Amino acid sequence: EKVANYTQQLSNYQLEDRFLVRNKKNILRDSILRILLLVLATPLFTYGWITNYIPYRLPKAIAKLLTKSDSYVGPIKMTSGIFLFPIFYALWIYLFQRFIADGNEWWTVIFALSLPIAGAFALWYAQRYLNAMGHIRLVSLFYRQPKLADELLEKRKAIII
């Protein structure tokens, strides 16, 4: 019952237990560092998002069109992604070579190599963004309702011990 009550309270405030692992001082410091990292990494995320959004989202739409069965969604997304990413990357590379690189093959090679790296970074960034929002909600709770935050920390401690 303690666990159910604790998890319900976390759910009410859109928090996760993993955010409460550290003490208050570390949570505030970690939240500030996470936000700073996100701000500094935003340009690279934006580049990765722009160059990878369509081939990342399109397989999901294709899977929705082709099947209603959850067991086929994953394989359809994987298969369509195998074809879509190279097609979109080839299109990006062509556009870059034609309009930006102006015949410089080295810039084109660097751009081509950057596409999957930026896409992976965009996924990583999106997850870190969600984590940072959870930390911000927790810090906000500490400042708006310190008694409730202390209660959550005590409940967590009582469950773990």
What is the tens place of the pLDDT at every residue in 114-153? Answer: 999 999 999 999 999 998 898 888 888 888 998 988 888 8
Q: Which of 97, 139, 115 is nearest to 56 (CA)?
A: 115
Helix axes 105-144, 70-96, angle to 10 degrees: 130
Q: How far is the C-alpha of 8 from the C-alpha of 30, rounded, in Å? A: 25
What is the tens place of the pLDDT at every residue in 74-105? Answer: 999 999 999 999 999 999 999 999 999 987 99
pTM for this predicted structure = 0.81
Q: How far is the C-alpha of 47 from the C-alpha of 76, rounded, in Å? A: 27
Q: Which of 1, 3, 25, 2 is nearest to 149 (CA)?
A: 25
